[in-house]
Structure 1
Amino acid sequence: MEIVRAATLDDWEPLYDLIGRAGVGLTSLRLTKNQLHERLEWSHFAFTRKSERPGGEPYVFVMEDLASGSLVGTSCIFAKTGGYEPFYTYEIVSEPKSSVELDVSADVQSLHLQRIHDGPTEIGSLFLLPAFRGRGRGRLLSMARFSMIAQRPGRFAKEVIAEMRGVSDATGKSPFWEAIGRHFFHVDFPVADALSTVSKKFIDDLMPQHPIYLDLLPEEVREVIGQVHEQTQPAQAMLASEGFVSRGLVDIFDAGPILHSDRDSIHSVASCRNPRVRAGEVPSDAKRQIVTTSAARFRAVNSQVHWIDEGTVALPEATVRALQLSASDNVWTLG
């Protein structure tokens, strides 16, 4: 059985080893040991804080394989983007043009750099070891975050976004970066990608301030704008089923799409329930759902759930042990 739980400072070294196995393009996981330690300190504060006002704090989750005790995945919620350093994105703007003399009309698309200081909540930093992909594990690692948002909506912005990894090849080479970013930053994509987790000042210093017209780009570059990496397609489909949509914003480095949803309209947030646990038999055909504990001591599993009545559930003993539940505790269910 695998469990998703709030990361602790004791996870520092194994989590650092885990994220070292993530590929190029997962920007928010390209951290030094010190940066990761600081993120975990902020995360501990985030899970235990009393205030309900969203700041820039991260909520770091890890997936643990209970059989071996090893970490096999991680994900995160950033309560608010922007602030002292803005959140940068390109907006795809379409402008109709026409000429009576030539009897020509066309929509001209261009990329406009946007700086967002008072930004939305962001879900991201999701990575799962290839050997553990499938059997609902990726869904658990991703969707468990929505239970946290449902439990403490005041800690998060009213809009939630997810930056999807853009198209790149097996070596991490991004067509979009090679066509645009390289000409202004004069470094390889992984270098700029990693630096953006430390400071974003270089973006304002070097990024072109005028629109970039898509018709001036090679066709193979235009084709990847707003498209996701093949390994990200399942995550994109999962978020689409939760109500996330593209609103014309893309990442400034690899042109991956940025998906949006109103916080309270996310399917799993809106349908999250808070039943009490009671002893009882769980039928073999009982439906599987994501079950989590309260925010302060967050743990989540994918388990069979038997609904005794509208406010009461019975859970398998293995689930009760994994969630460290006591008699008559309440849990949260998604799905």
Structure 2
Amino acid sequence: MMIVRHAEHKDLDDIYILAGKSGIGLTSLPQNKEILSARILRTQNTLQGQAAQSEQGYLFVLEDTELQRVVGVSAIEVSVGLTEPFYNYHVGKQVHASQALNVYQTLNTLFLSNDHTGCSELCTLFLDPDFRKNQNGKFLSKIRFLFMAAFQDCFKNTLIAEMRGYSDENGRSPFWDALGHHFFDMDFATADYLSGIGQKVFIAELMPRFPVYIDLLPSAAQQVIAQVHPQTLPAAHVLETEGLRYQGYVDIFDAGPTLEAEIKDLRAVQNSHVCKVKVVPEVPEGTIRYLVANDCYQHYRAILVSNQADHASLPLTVAQAEALGVQAGQCVRLLPLDIMEK
């Protein structure tokens, strides 16, 4: 059985192995045990109410209970940019006009921005390639929305998610080569890694403060602005089905798009509901798959089921109830995995 729960210190070795498989571009999952251990500790401190707002975050793991192994991770940051600036580019326009010369030119530009300071952020989604089946990826991603639906007061009004931008099979980013490389004098992988482990001061010290004219960049760089890495397209589609949209902001390193939404407008917030558990020997399998969570803040557990449910009750087997840590008569939160067609 697959279970999503909060990360614990016992998961460190498994998460370290996953970090090694994630490749270049997933900056929030560096293969560094000290940093990963601190990330787990931060989750535990957040759950215990011992973390300052700027340090609050949740790291979830997907565990295969038969293998007793963590095979995926996903996370939410509560409020970004409160201790160090949160940078991205805003894709905007500048108009150059001269009546005397009868010239009117609209040019696309990149403005260095801190507009998302204080927003909550979805991040660190990675699933072991061997387990990219049986809807595991959707489960791991979407369970964060169900958690936010249950505990909205723990988050900010706006939610963002930075999508991995395009890089080739050798990890080279056309956008970085055309722009960032000239200011940082390091390769894309190094800059991305330093940013991911929190060493972001160099961004403020070295990035150009003036608008960058997109038309002056090489064609290869222009074409990848706001483009999602091919391996990240399925994850981006999942977020879009939950209500997030591109609003004109991109990453400063690889120009990957930032998706955003108001938390109150998310599908999980609008459509999830709470119902009571019925524990039964066998459960007739339905045609709809549901995310099911126990809504227990500190001991959060979630599973994916195909049980026949209604708004009043959800039948669970003994094994499913034990996985969630619930008993008959207790409540769980329920959301269809996919959007229901009307």
Normalising by the residue count of structure 1, what TM-score does the alignment of the two structures yield? 0.94
State the match for 2:106 in structure 1.
107
**TM-fit CA distance, 1:305:** 3.1
The 8 Å contact of residues 54 and 154 in structure 1, kept in 2 or not, is answered as: no
Select between 193-202 and 168-177 the one with higher mean Cα deviation. 193-202
The 8 Å contact of residues 76 and 121 in structure 2, kept in 1 or not, is answered as: yes
Matches of 1:263 and 1:50 in 2, distance apart? Answer: 24
The 8 Å contact of residues 57 and 78 in structure 1, kept in 2 or not, is answered as: yes
- Give 3-state SS (helix, strand or coil) of 1:258's partner: strand
Alignment of 1:63-82 (within 5 A): 63-82=62-81
Q: Which amino acid aligns with 2:113?
A: Q
State the match for 2:330 in structure 1.
329
Unaligned runs of 5+ in 2: 337-342
Alignment of 1:32-181 (within 5 A): 32-49=32-49, 54-99=53-98, 105-116=104-115, 118-181=117-180
Say if 1:55 and 1:274 are closer, same or farther in 2 by CA, change over 3 A: farther
Matches of 1:329 and 1:286 in 2, distance apart? Answer: 24
- Give 3-state SS (helix, strand or coil) of 1:30's partner: coil
State the match for 1:316 in structure 2.
317
**TM-fit CA distance, 1:91:** 0.5
Normalising by the residue count of structure 2, what TM-score does the alignment of the two structures yield? 0.92
- Give 3-state SS (helix, strand or coil) of 2:83's partner: strand
**TM-fit CA distance, 1:102:** 5.9
- Give 3-state SS (helix, strand or coil) of 2:87's partner: strand
The 8 Å contact of residues 54 and 155 in structure 1, kept in 2 or not, is answered as: no
- Give the alignment partner of residue 303 of structure 1, picking from 284, 290, 305: 305
Alignment of 1:235-314 (within 5 A): 235-280=235-280, 282-294=283-295, 295-308=297-310, 310-314=311-315
Question: How many residues were matched structurally?
Answer: 333
% identical equivalent positions: 38
The 8 Å contact of residues 90 and 112 in structure 1, kept in 2 or not, is answered as: yes
State the match for 2:221 in structure 1.
221
Alignment of 1:8-47 (within 5 A): 8-47=8-47
**TM-fit CA distance, 1:103:** 5.4
Say if 1:77 and 1:158 are closer, same or farther in 2 by CA, change over 3 A: same
The 8 Å contact of residues 3 and 301 in structure 1, kept in 2 or not, is answered as: yes
Off by >6 Å, runs of 4+ in structure 1: none
Matches of 2:132 and 2:279 in 1, distance apart? Answer: 32
Q: Which amino acid aligns with 1:254?
A: D
Q: Which amino acid aligns with 1:236?
A: A
Say if 1:292 and 1:84 are closer, same or farther in 2 by CA, change over 3 A: same
The 8 Å contact of residues 274 and 332 in structure 1, kept in 2 or not, is answered as: yes
